[in-house]
């Protein structure tokens, strides 16, 4: 048994990302055409230069025809991928392996989701046929289980916990305000966040990620070929993915203050990349802040904070844009928006911008000072029953 | 050996409507006292399960051979509702389960069928009812919701007869007092005084004949219960039948309300609660005629302990239910739903495959490491052993809240949906919906117990989705 990784064997040479938001005037096809064209232009390639495609979407299409039809691909291999909210990352991971294997020279990973056409509030996930005994709570409620459990375990009262999650929302909105592609481009005061109508448990409207439409894409080649296309590619240092046994909701040993899947995938990714102190070594991290308590718990699961102390680091500004380890500098799911299949690639898009010094007003200074690694974390499912993806990318080989 | 009552269990829902709330909202109607209200997730079938659990729990050693369910509001037509009760109570597959639905009198017939059948087997008779009427009506005000389960049989050393039937009589005449065609939301009644005119002589005739059959006089009746939906006629019969004043048993109309099909045996149960051995109970039911049953308690009654007495149930519960919630729960007030998909129809084949899980809340216990899993898994989540499990019923186990939430987004017939992760005493965890609770009062560490409910009725195909929820343990 081994997770050997493919450190420095593949590189990203181009990326594209649509603005995320309520695209009432754009279809799934429009979004796919937009992000794929941007990614190709960024790499200086034409569509015919791409040998194989991985398209990730949770519910905006089925089969490879989701991509081949709108792009009128010339009888190319297209794999449609679904892995809950980690779908975009899964498209990227599988495309990377195809390149690393030598099967293809150039691959595209592309993710898309069109959530706003449904007319529903929040995310709707289709269920397999069932006996009706599974509880019908929505995603905010499932993640809100984390809040009282965390507060109870670490001795925070309800107000202290609310202050912590409010600050996470405040930070991500502040970052998103600097991002032209973000769904919400406005700073929101802590008072407004804390006073917003409740959605589930302690979570108000501002504690939930944006429901949006969008698409993002990456062009991948072997590392040794990267400089033929791009002077400053990003190298893939680690790709880790786990699907947990989903035993949290049936195992009394699970306490709803952690994602064991994230802990495992982070350990694997750090080993692949040779990262021993993520808080010090990473220039930035894009994490799956689907709901604010998720980001809090992730700070501990990803090893950025000591167990039980993540909330103090949040309040101390450690993860702010100008903090020790900026987290979600692009605004995250919270502010950038969360079109499911696109989100994992959107996270990589921010790494692409930041590590190449192209992030403008939200550029992280530590990159210029020599930090050249960035992490993306993408999660799908619910606490105790989820899939987790961690990638580490870097701007230097070795 | 004569057949008789072996045990009984009563279920009264948690919620109470203060009758004054009706008048306050409508400017008319209402009155004094409270009435019990089946929650939005209860119906005649789910309450029958709760009553059945109470009866079987208080009467160990009795496994019925037959189950009769009687109600005026069957959850389904053309599908036997008693079969769902049978499944939830984990009765053997060899047990016959059938409905005797229609009117209050069907419940009397079910009881008589149980007590008079030939052969040694026990019969579980469950009467269950949800009573309401159009807003401001007397039916709405005076009704009550609840269910009663009575175990009838020959008796054994471990489950002896606590009350035997000495005699009975009926009087039947066709007259139009109360009626409802299928699908109508409320019953209609003829003028009050006409019903009194028709009922009182029928009751007098039935009582006279029953006492004669039992070989006793009215003076010898220690406990008189009179049930029926015609309140005026019931009152006249109670007053005029000639029983001693101290024999009159509280009718619980001012606290629980008139529980319709459940009322005759609810009042019989309350008489058994208070009766001494070798006492006589006269049970009179006015429902499209009159039926009179004369019962005599036995020495075994002394040792019998019901799960809860009717008086205890009447004084428990939670008042202050908003009248608007009551109207919503009974379908008279259609509120704006959330922008979420309608709940899915539960599928029939998985329901059959998972019958013991879905209906009886039976989990698995790993034979290798003893871990309990809900729902049953084929691979143990603790030790990964494959297919080495024993079934473990979890419905009667208590649990503690680990974490919880109030979901204001999810579909619920009565938002917000309250959910919790609960850990059971002795092992096992489940992500469960809470009921009979006030969201603001839920807390980590709170103790809960399981209750059988109708989660929702799917708009697609109109399928009732029955399953288990947890409720706070009280008292």
Find out whether A11 and A235 touch, Cβ atoms under 8 Å.
yes
The CATH fold of domain A139-208+235-394: Peroxisomal Thiolase; Chain A, domain 1 (3.40.47)
pLDDT digits (tens, 9 = 90+) for A8-62: 999 999 999 999 999 999 999 999 999 999 999 999 999 999 999 999 999 999 9
* Nearest Cα residue in chain A from B468: A133
Q: Which residue in B has a C-alpha nearest to residue A142's C-alpha? A: B405
User: B408 — contact with chain A (CB < 8 Å)?
Assistant: yes
Nearest-by-Cβ selection for A249 from B343, B421, B455: B421
Q: Is A175 on the interface with B (CB under 8 A)?
A: no
A23 is a catalytic site residue: no
Cβ–Cβ contact A196 with B under 8 A: no
B357 contacts in A (CB within 8 Å)? 131, 133
Q: At what angle do helices A87-100 and A340-355 cross, to 10 degrees?
A: 60
- Least CB-CB distance to A201: which of B377, B406, B421? B406
* Calpha distance B124→B117 (Å, rounded): 12
Cβ-based burial of B312 (10 A; exposed 0-12, middle 13-18, buried ≥19): middle
* Three-state secondary-structure class, residue A37: helix
Chain A: residue whose CA lies nearest to B373: A250
Contact A130 B346 (CB under 8 A): yes
In this complex, the residue of A124, A146, A200 whose CB is nearest that of residue B408 is A200
Under 8 Å between Cβ of B153 and B56: no
In chain A, the N- to C-terminal Cα span, in Å, equals 25
Show the tokens assigned to B413: 């017939």
Q: Please, which residues 109-148 of chain A have a Cβ atom closer than 8 Å to chain B?
A: 119-122, 124, 127, 129-133, 135-138, 140-142, 144-146, 148
Angle at Cα B400 formed by Cα B399 and Cα B403, nearest 5°?
Answer: 135
Same topology between domain A10-118+213-233 and domain A139-208+235-394: yes
**Marked catalytic residue, from A23, A173, A288, A338:** A338
Are the C-beta atoms of residues A389 and A354 closer than 8 Å to each other? no
Q: How far is A14 from chain B (nearest CA, A)?
A: 38
Question: Which pair of tokens denotes residue A4?
Answer: 């050997």
CA distance B336 to B315: 34
- Partners of B351 on chain A (C-beta within 8 Å) are 131-132
Give tens-digit pLDDT for B246-276: 999 899 999 999 999 999 999 999 999 999 9
Average pLDDT of the residues in A180-189: 97
3-state secondary structure of B464: strand
Window 327-386 of B: residues touching A by CB (8 A cutoff) are: 338-341, 343-347, 349-351, 353-354, 357-358, 371, 373-375, 377, 381-382
C-beta atoms of A137 and B407 within 8 A? yes
B419 - beta bridge partners? B405, B433
CA distance B291 to chain A (A): 42
Token pair listed for A274: 């040779």
pTM for this predicted structure: 0.95
Whether A398 and chain B come into contact, CB under 8 Å, resolves to no
Beta strands in B312-462 (DSSP E): 362-366, 372-373, 389-393, 399-407, 417-424, 429-433, 447-458
Q: Where are the alpha helices (DSSP H) in B89-149?
A: 104-116, 138-142
Residue of A nearest to B453 (CA): A133
Q: pLDDT (tens digit, 9 = 90+) per residue, A257-289?
A: 999 999 999 999 999 999 999 999 999 999 999
- Whether chain A has a CB inside 8 Å of the CB on B423: the answer is yes
- Contact of A274 with chain B, judged by CB distance below 8 Å, is answered with no
B251: closest CA of chain A, how far (Å): 38
List the catalytic residue out of A85, A208, A351, A386: A85
3-state secondary structure chain B: CCCEEEEEEEECCCEEEECHHHHHHHCCCCCCCEEEECCCCCCHHHHHHHHHHHHHHHCCCCCCCEEEEECCCCCCCCCCCHHHHHHHCCCCCCCEEEECCCCHHHHHHHHHHHHHCCCCCCEEEEEEECCCCCCCCHHHHHECCEEEEEEEECCCCCCCCCEEEEEEEEECCCCCCEECCCCCCCCEECCHHHHHHHHHHHHHHHHHHHHHHHCCCHHHCCEEEEEECCHHHHHHHHHHCCCCHHHECCCCCCCCCECHHHHHHHHHHHHHHHCCCCCEEEEEEECCCEEEEEEEECHHHHHCCCCCCHHHHHHCCECCCCHHHHHHHCCCCCCCCCCCCCCCCCCHHHHHHCHHHHCCCEEEEECCCCCEECCCCCECCCCCCECCEEEEECCCCCEEEEEEEEECCCCCCCCCEEEEEEEECCCCEEEEEECCCCHHHCCCCCEEEEEEEEEEEECCCCEEEEEEEEEECCC
CB contact at 8 A, A262 and A375: no
Q: Which residues of B touch A148 (CB under 8 A)?
A: 403-405, 444
Give A298: exposed, middle or buried? Use CB within 10 Å, 0-12, 13-18, 19+. Answer: buried
Cα separation, A310 vs A293, in Å, equals: 11
Statement: residue A1 has pLDDT above 80: no
pLDDT in tens, B332-369: 999 988 888 888 899 999 999 999 999 999 999 999 99
Instruction: In whole angstroms, give the CA distance from residue A345 to residue A90.
Output: 9
Note whether B432 contacts A: Cβ–Cβ < 8 A.
Answer: yes
Q: What is the pLDDT of residue B394?
A: 98
A136 interaction partners in chain B (CB closer than 8 Å): 343, 410-411, 417, 433, 455
**B350:A130 CB<8 A:** yes
Going from N- to C-terminal start, the domains of chain B cover 4-329, 348-472
Torsion sign across C-alpha atoms B68, B74, B80, B86: negative
Number of Cβ within 10 Å of residue A51's Cβ equals 16
Q: Residue-wise pLDDT tens for chain B (475 aa)?
A: 578 999 999 999 999 999 999 999 999 877 899 999 999 999 999 999 999 999 999 999 899 999 999 999 999 999 999 999 999 999 999 999 999 988 999 999 999 999 987 777 899 999 999 999 999 999 999 999 999 999 999 999 999 999 999 999 999 999 999 999 988 989 999 999 999 999 999 999 999 999 999 999 999 999 999 999 999 999 999 999 999 999 998 999 999 999 999 999 999 999 999 999 999 999 999 999 999 999 999 999 999 999 999 999 999 999 999 999 999 999 999 998 888 888 889 999 999 999 999 999 999 999 999 999 999 999 999 999 999 999 999 999 999 999 999 999 999 999 999 999 999 999 999 999 999 999 999 999 999 999 999 999 998 879 999 999 999 998 6
The residue among A19, A36, A15 whose CA lies nearest residue A212 is A19
Chain A residue numbers touching B343 (CB-CB < 8 A): 136
Contact B182, B264 (CB under 8 A): no
Q: A147: which 2 tokens?
A: 């809040």
To which H or E segment does residue A168 belong?
helix A158-176
Question: Best mutation site among B358, B372, B383, B403 for testing chain A: the one with the most A CBs within 10 Å?
Answer: B403
Looking at the complex, report in whole angstroms how far the Cα of residue B340 sits from the nearest Cα belonging to chain A. Answer: 5
- How close A129 comes to chain B (CA, Å)? 6
Q: Is there a contact between A217 and A35 (Cβ–Cβ < 8 Å)?
A: yes
Strands A10-17 and A234-243, how do they pair?
antiparallel
Instruction: Give A251's contacts in chain B (Cβ within 8 Å).
Output: 371, 381-382, 429
A85 is catalytic: yes
Q: Do strands A52-56 and A78-81 pair parallel, antiparallel, or not at all (unpaired)? A: parallel
A298: helix, strand or coil: helix
Query: Could you tell me if A126 and A52 are in contact, meaning their C-beta atoms sit under 8 angstroms apart?
Result: no
Q: Which of chain A's residues have a Cβ under 8 Å away from the Cβ of B349?
A: 129
Q: Select B4-329's CATH number: 3.40.47.10, 3.40.50.1370, 3.50.50.60, 3.40.50.720.
A: 3.40.47.10
Round to whole Å and give the CA distance between B230 and B423.
47
Q: Is A287 helix (H, G, I), strand (E, B) or coil?
A: coil
Chain B residues touching A250 at Cβ < 8 A? 373-375, 377, 381, 428-430
Dihedral angle computed from the Cα positions of residues A219, A220, A223 and A224, in that order, rounded to the nearest 10 degrees? -70
DSSP of B434-454:
B-SS-GGG--TT-EEEEEEEE
DSSP-assigned letter for residue B318: B
Are the CB atoms for B237 and B226 separated by under 8 Å? yes
- CATH of the domain spanning A10-118+213-233: 3.40.47.10
With beta carbons less than 8 A apart as the criterion, state whether A297 and A310 touch. Answer: yes
> CB within 8 A of A378, min separation 6: which ones?
A85, A86, A88, A89, A288, A343, A344, A347, A388, A389, A390
User: Are the Cβ atoms of B419 and A141 closer than 8 angstroms?
Assistant: yes
Interface check for B417 against chain A (CB to CB < 8 A): the answer is: yes
What per-residue string of b and e applies to B123-132 under the rule 16 or more CB within 10 Å gives b? bbbbbbbbbb
Interface touch A141/B410, C-beta < 8 Å: yes
A157 shares contact with chain B (CB less than 8 Å): no
Chain B: give the shortest CA distance to residue A145, in Å: 6
B438 dihedral zone (left: phi>0; alpha: psi -120 to 50; beta): beta
Give the H/E segment covering residue B151.
strand B146-153
B389 touches chain A (CB under 8 A): no
């Amino acid at each position: 048994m081994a997770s050997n990784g493919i450190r420095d064997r593949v590189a990203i040479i181009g990326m594209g990302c649509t603005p995320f938001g309520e695209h009432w005037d754009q279809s799934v096809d429009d979004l796919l055409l937009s992000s794929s064209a941007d990614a190709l232009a960024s790499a200086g390639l034409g569509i015919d230069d791409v040998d194989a495609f991985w398209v990730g979407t949770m519910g905006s299409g089925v089969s490879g025809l989701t991509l081949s039809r709108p792009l009128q691909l010339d009888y190319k291999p297209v794999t449609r991928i679904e892995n809950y909210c980690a779908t975009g990352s899964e498209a990227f991971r599988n495309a990377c392996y195809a390149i690393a294997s030598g099967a293809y020279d150039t691959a595209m990973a592309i993710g898309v989701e069109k959530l706003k056409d449904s007319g529903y509030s929040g995310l709707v996930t289709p269920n397999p046929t069932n006996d009706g005994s599974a509880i019908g709570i929505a995603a905010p409620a499932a993640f809100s289980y984390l809040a009282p459990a965390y507060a109870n375990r670490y001795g925070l009262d309800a107000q202290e916990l609310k202050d912590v999650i409010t600050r996470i929302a405040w930070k991500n909105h502040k970052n998103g305000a600097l991002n032209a592609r973000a769904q919400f481009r406005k700073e929101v005061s802590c008072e407004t966040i804390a006073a917003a109508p409740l959605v589930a448990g302690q979570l108000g409207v501002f504690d939930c990620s944006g429901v949006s439409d969008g698409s993002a894409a990456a062009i991948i080649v072997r590392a040794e070929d990267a400089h033929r296309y791009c002077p400053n590619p990003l190298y893939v240092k680690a790709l880790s993915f786990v699907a947990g046994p989903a035993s949290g909701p049936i195992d009394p040993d699970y306490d709803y203050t952690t994602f064991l899947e994230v802990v495992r995938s982070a350990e694997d990714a750090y080993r692949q990349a040779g990262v021993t102190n993520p808080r010090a070594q990473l220039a930035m991290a894009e994490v799956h802040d689907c709901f604010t308590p998720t980001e809090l718990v992730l700070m501990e699961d990803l090893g950025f904070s000591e167990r039980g102390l993540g909330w103090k680091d949040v309040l101390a500004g450690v993860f702010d844009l100008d903090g020790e380890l900026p987290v979600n500098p692009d605004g995250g799911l919270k502010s950038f928006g969360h079109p499911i299949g696109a989100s994992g690639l959107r996270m990589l898009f921010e790494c692409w911008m930041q590590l190449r010094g192209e992030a403008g007003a939200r550029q992280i200074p530590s990159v210029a000072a020599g930090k050249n690694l960035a992490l993306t974390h993408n999660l799908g499912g619910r606490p105790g029953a989820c899939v987790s993806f961690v990638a580490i990318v870097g701007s230097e080989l070795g | 050996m004569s057949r008789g009552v072996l045990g009984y269990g009563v279920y009264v829902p948690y919620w109470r409507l203060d009758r004054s709330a009706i008048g306050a909202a409508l400017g008319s109607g209402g009155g004094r006292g409270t009435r019990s209200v089946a929650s939005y997730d209860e119906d005649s079938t789910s309450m029958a399960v709760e009553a059945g659990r109470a009866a079987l729990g208080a009467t160990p050693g009795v496994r019925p051979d037959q189950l009769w369910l009687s109600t005026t509001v069957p959850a389904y037509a053309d599908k036997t509702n008693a079969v769902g009760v049978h499944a939830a109570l984990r009765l053997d597959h060899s047990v016959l389960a059938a409905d005797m639905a229609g009117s209050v009198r069907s419940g009397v017939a079910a009881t008589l069928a149980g007590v008079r059948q030939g052969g040694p087997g026990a019969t579980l008779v469950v009467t269950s009812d949800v009573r309401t009427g159009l807003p401001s009506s007397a039916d709405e005000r005076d009704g009550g919701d609840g269910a009663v389960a009575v175990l009838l049989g020959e008796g054994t050393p471990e489950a002896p007869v606590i009350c035997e039937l000495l005699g009975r009589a009926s009087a039947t005449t066709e007259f139009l007092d109360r009626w409802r065609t299928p699908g109508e939301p409320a019953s209609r009644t003829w003028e009050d005084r006409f019903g009194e005119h028709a009922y009182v002589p029928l009751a007098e005739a039935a009582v006279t004949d029953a006492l004669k059959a039992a070989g006793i006089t009215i003076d010898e009746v220690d406990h008189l219960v009179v049930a029926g939906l015609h309140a005026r006629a019931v009152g006249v019969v109670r007053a005029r039948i000639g029983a001693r004043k101290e024999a009159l048993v509280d009718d619980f109309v001012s606290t629980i309300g008139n529980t319709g099909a459940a009322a005759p045996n609810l009042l019989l149960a309350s008489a058994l609660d208070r009766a001494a051995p070798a006492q006589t109970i006269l049970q009179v039911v006015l429902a499209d005629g009159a039926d009179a049953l004369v019962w005599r308690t036995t020495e075994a009654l002394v040792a019998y302990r019901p799960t809860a007495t009717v008086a205890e149930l009447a004084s428990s519960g939670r008042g202050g239910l908003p009248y608007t919630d009551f109207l919503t729960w009974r379908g008279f007030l259609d509120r704006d739903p959330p922008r979420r998909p309608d709940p899915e129809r539960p599928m029939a084949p998985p329901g059959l495959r998972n019958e013991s899980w879905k209906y009886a809340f039976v989990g698995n216990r790993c034979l290798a490491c003893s871990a309990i899993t809900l729902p049953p898994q084929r691979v143990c989540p603790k030790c990964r052993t494959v297919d080495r499990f024993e079934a473990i019923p979890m419905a009667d186990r208590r649990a503690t809240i680990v974490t919880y939430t109030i979901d204001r987004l999810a579909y619920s017939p009565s938002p917000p949906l309250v959910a919790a992760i609960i850990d059971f005493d002795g092992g096992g965890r489940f992500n469960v919906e809470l009921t009979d609770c006030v969201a603001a009062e839920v807390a980590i560490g709170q103790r809960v117990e399981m209750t059988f409910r109708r989660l929702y009725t799917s708009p697609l195909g109109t399928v009732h989705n029955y399953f288990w929820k947890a409720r706070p343990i009280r008292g």
